[in-house]
Amino acid sequence: MAFSGGSYSEVARWLRNFLTSHAKREDPRIEVLLDTSDEREGKSYGAQLKFGEHVTPTIEFEFTEVAANRGSYAWCAALAQRVRQAAREQLLTGSPAPAR
């Protein structure tokens, strides 16, 4: 469990990279929006997947849960599966913005 724990910003960086890595496995055009605004600081994160003009509903993460479990293979595997499923659903319902 070498990656468990960490500061709010370290865990946010890890979560953004993890979510991006798994969402982009479904389509490299998918973007991850991670809310770490002041009212969330030290408590939670809100993540959305964006494909073109379409954005998924917010996926909520508690800071303490992510920090405690980011070193757990089982937890990470479940999260990866969840993110990839959300990305696939976004691809079915969304459409990319036209190229300019």
Q: What is the pTM of this model?
A: 0.88
Please check whether residue 85 lies inside any domain of the structure: yes
pLDDT, residue 46, reads 98
Range(s) of the domain holding residue 83: 8-93
Please check whether residue 99 lies inside any domain of the structure: no
Positions of E strands within 1-100: 31-35, 44-51, 54-55, 59-62
Please check whether residue 65 lies inside any domain of the structure: yes
pLDDT, residue 33, reads 97
Please check whether residue 1 lies inside any domain of the structure: no
> Dihedrals φ, ψ of 51, to 5°?
-135, 110
Number of domains within the chain: 1
Please check whether residue 83 lies inside any domain of the structure: yes
Digit-coded pLDDT (tens) for 16-45: 999 999 999 999 999 999 999 999 999 999
Please check whether residue 26 lies inside any domain of the structure: yes
Count of C-beta atoms within a 10 Å radius of residue 42: 11
Residue ranges in the chain whose pLDDT is less than 50:
1, 97-100
